[in-house]
Amino acid sequence: MATAAAISLSAEPQPLTGVKLIAAAFALALANFVVVLDTTIANVSVPHIAGGLAVSPTQGTWAITSYAVADAISVPLTGWLASRFGTVRWFIISIIGFGIFSFLCGIARTLDALILFRVLQGLSGGPLMPLSQILLLRIFPKEKAGVGLAIWAMTTTTAPILGPILGGLISDNWSWPWIFFINLPVVALCAFGVGTMLGRFETKRVKARIDVVGLILLVLSVGAFQIMLDTGREHDWFGSTWIVALAIIAAISFAAFVIWELTDANPVVDLRVFRFRGFSFATLAISLGFGAFFSQVVLTPLWLQQVVGYTATDTGYVVAWLGCFAVLLSPVAAGLIGKVDIRLTVSLGILWMAAMSVLRASWNADVGYWTLALPHVLQGMGMPFFFVGLTALALSSVPANVQTSAAGLMSFLRTLSGAIGTAIATTAWDDASRVSRSELVSALNDPEAAVASMQAGGLTLEQARGVLDRLVEGQAATLGVLHLFLAAGVVFVIAAISVWLAPRPKQISMGGGH
């Protein structure tokens, strides 16, 4: 999991002890926490953001995907940036940049400005995840390195769950810009803590060459593809020359990127690790699984607020249940690694998540709180076996000397698939709702009588038609979202099957860098 091995370490400084160790570990964990938190804090706030900027909620989801894509692109660069500028120095630059762009996101008054600042916020925040892990491993004594990693894993698991609760409370009680402003005191604390306590853990600076061509092709292919997904629906997909042009740019730059990276001596992303079958199929499984998982995490709040009438706070309290068992069972999932065939625990964890997708598909627009909460409570039981197990399976399938680039590539693809899953899900929901609406309208049982009875109850003709229209809209949107939950379930099953195409690793390893 660590990108630690990528960084050439000078003579090892003595680890920290006592209060200083606790304070430094807290500062590093908090930095990781706030970056991961920002991947989900905007989810429940999308209707508020869309309303505040006068755009549709579907356009509002760009605030989520733009951050995730930028975050993903910057992860593979962490090793180079840290060796070029120094680990501690780049950590401080990243956290300060993250704070500045958080502030600019909060004062953005147009969607274009918000997306630009979210991209820059993601580019700043991306390296903080691997850097916080590297530094946690360095400040703890060797025999307690596991404690450092446990702290890092705990913040990575709990942050996405607390995001929707905080996002909901802030959006409903203050205003949506505060979901970005609350980062500022955290950033100040982390920058001060790391700057004052971790100076002696700075690494030697090396003038390493950066693969500029590979980086440009990576940004071009991922950027064009994501813009195509985000704007396709508004431009009638391939009926638009704009979308066709983006698709061609994405395809050509991606093909060029693959060829360049496979032939370059010092690639920005080492695609050669895909020659290991175990890594390839584990990465395929985590990409499919995370895409399906993240699309549900985004769609559920949108549906609850737009159709069921939940506030952002209430929505946060439903989605947050994901975290309970996820946190409690993480040590169990880690403990089972090496004791039983890892492919078994991983595939069972993914199939459990597929079953929860089917359970979600039984919802309706009048559903009660606990019917909504139950799949979230139970889904958390499968998540640790999926996340922890697949990371171990992927990294155990490659030699130690390429584990760092394998971890970076896997993290990049996982984050990117979350953004792609979100874009596809929001577009598909719109389409599925439209199809369901036309089916419902043709199947309505005597709408004239319904309108007449509402008029008899004191409504005008326009009001009665409006009520009927909203009812049909709500049912159509609900049917659309239920179809997508079932589709996510199918994707989970494919991910579970692909795990068995990976050979059983001879020895389990959680990644180098100690």
Q: Are 322 and 376 in contact (CB under 8 A)?
A: yes
Q: Which two tokens stand for residue 32?
A: 């990781």
Same domain, 311 and 248: no
| pLDDT for the residue 283 | 92
Same domain, 384 and 505: yes
pLDDT (mean) for 211-225: 88
| pLDDT for the residue 7 | 43
Same domain, 18 and 113: yes
pLDDT (mean) for 173-192: 90
Half-sphere exposure of 436 (CA within 13 A, CB side): 20
Which residues neighbour 181 within 8 Å (Cβ) at sequence distance 6 or greater? 102, 103, 106
Q: Are 389 and 49 in contact (CB under 8 A)?
A: no
Report how far residue 340's alpha carbon sits from residue 324's, in angstroms, rounded to the nearest whole number: 24
pLDDT (mean) for 346-354: 94
Question: DSSP secondary-structure letter at 210?
Answer: P
pLDDT band for 507, please (50, 70, 90 cuts): low
Q: Are 355 and 364 in contact (CB under 8 A)?
A: no
Which residues neighbour 156 within 8 Å (Cβ) at sequence distance 6 or greater? 32, 36, 129
Q: Which residue has the higher pLDDT, 492 or 142?
A: 492
Same domain, 161 and 289: no
* CA 341 remoteness from chain centre: 28
User: How many structural domains compose the chain?
Assistant: 3
Same domain, 487 and 502: yes
Helix, coil or strand: residue 236 = coil
When mean pLDDT is compared over 45-54, 133-142, 154-163, 476-485, the highest value belongs to 476-485
| pLDDT for the residue 150 | 64
| pLDDT for the residue 349 | 93
pLDDT band for 145, please (50, 70, 90 cuts): low
Q: Which of 394, 290, 380, 299 is nearest to 337 (CA)?
A: 394
As beta bridge partners, residue 340 has 337
Q: Are 353 and 411 in contact (CB under 8 A)?
A: no
Same domain, 48 and 156: yes
156-170 tens-digit pLDDT: 767 777 787 788 888
What is the domain range of residue 240? 211-267
Amino acid found at 435: V
Same domain, 341 and 413: yes
Q: Residue 146 pLDDT > 80, yes or no?
A: no
pLDDT (mean) for 276-297: 91
When mean pLDDT is compared over 1-5, 285-289, 476-480, the highest value belongs to 285-289
Amino acid found at 312: A
| pLDDT for the residue 11 | 52
pLDDT band for 178, please (50, 70, 90 cuts): very high
Q: Which two tokens stand for residue 207?
A: 């003038």
| pLDDT for the residue 512 | 42
Same domain, 280 and 367: yes
Q: Which of 279, 285, 291 is nearest to 407 (CA)?
A: 279
Q: Residue 236 pLDDT > 80, yes or no?
A: no
As beta bridge partners, residue 337 has 340
Q: Residue 61 pLDDT > 50, yes or no?
A: yes
- The CATH number that applies at residue 11 is 1.20.1250.20
Q: Which two tokens stand for residue 375?
A: 């799949």
pLDDT (mean) for 269-280: 89
